[in-house]
């Protein structure tokens, strides 16, 4: 699963950006696994994620936090976004103890994720790396826009929306908080890191 793999930014910019999500092996243990996704959600929710979502239903900024965690399906993929290594370490500790039978994927700076695992006596099973963007890169928008838009791995955050919201913040037509929520709503899976979006928007707006 690679839709959270291509987040743009410097190491410093990505230092507070982690996505923890759960997925079942469709041909192995998916049948009847839905209650385990709800258990996963109950665990991650205790650690105050900045965003959550179920790929089959939507994200917390559209559905509401409670609605995301109910009525999950056997083929759900459930996400939670966190903003520091210590919290991710604690989340992984509890998930390890719960032994839900789900595959747990963590996206973030590789050595930071590795430390989160090692502190819990775990070893990373697989590491996937993005090769970046190839092709006519000269037609791409500015880097800050890409840093926000690539937080949605399915490309649902329009470049022009990011530019418009940054301009609206600069002109005091909208608050940064409200603008970040508008962006988060675009990503159905709930993997947008809202505090990071706020930081980048403020930088774009000269705040």
3-state secondary structure 165-193: HHHHHHCCCCCHHHHHHHHHHHCCCCCCC
In this predicted structure, what is the pLDDT of residue 105?
A: 96
In this predicted structure, what is the pLDDT of residue 110?
A: 96
| The total number of structural domains that make up the chain | 2
For the chain, residues with pLDDT lower than 70 are 1
Domain extent at residue 165: 137-205
Do 71 and 153 sit in the same domain of this protein?
A: no
Do 30 and 69 sit in the same domain of this protein?
A: yes
pTM confidence score: 0.94
Do 18 and 66 sit in the same domain of this protein?
A: yes
Cα 160 to chain centroid, rounded: 21
Do 29 and 102 sit in the same domain of this protein?
A: yes
Spatial contact of 148 and 162, defined as CB atoms under 8 Å apart:
yes
Edge-to-edge, what's the strand order for the sheet holding 51-54?
58-59, 51-54, 78-82, 18-23, 103-107
In this predicted structure, what is the pLDDT of residue 1?
A: 56
The C-alpha atoms of residue 187 and residue 174 are separated, in whole angstroms, by: 20
In this predicted structure, what is the pLDDT of residue 2?
A: 72
């Amino acid at each position: 699963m690679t839709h959270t793999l291509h987040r743009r930014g410097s190491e410093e910019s990505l230092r507070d950006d982690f996505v923890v999500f759960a997925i079942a092996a469709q041909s192995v243990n998916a049948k009847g696994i839905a209650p385990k996704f709800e258990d996963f959600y109950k665990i991650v929710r205790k650690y105050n994620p900045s965003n959550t979502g179920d790929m089959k239903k939507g994200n917390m900024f559209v559905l509401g936090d409670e609605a995301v965690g109910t009525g999950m399906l056997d083929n759900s993929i459930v996400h939670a976004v966190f903003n520091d290594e210590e919290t991710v370490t604690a989340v992984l500790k509890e998930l390890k103890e719960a032994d839900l039978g789900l595959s747990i994927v963590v996206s973030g700076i590789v050595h930071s994720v590795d430390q989160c695992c090692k502190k819990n006596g775990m070893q990373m099973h697989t590491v996937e790396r993005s090769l970046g963007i190839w092709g006519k890169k000269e037609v791409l928008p500015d880097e800050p826009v890409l840093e926000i838009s690539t937080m949605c791995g399915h490309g649902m955050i329009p470049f022009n929306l990011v530019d418009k919201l940054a301009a609206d913040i600069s002109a005091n037509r909208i608050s940064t908080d409200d603008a970040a929520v508008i962006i988060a709503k675009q990503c159905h899976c709930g993997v947008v890191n809202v505090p990071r979006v706020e930081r980048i928007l403020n930088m774009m707006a000269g705040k």
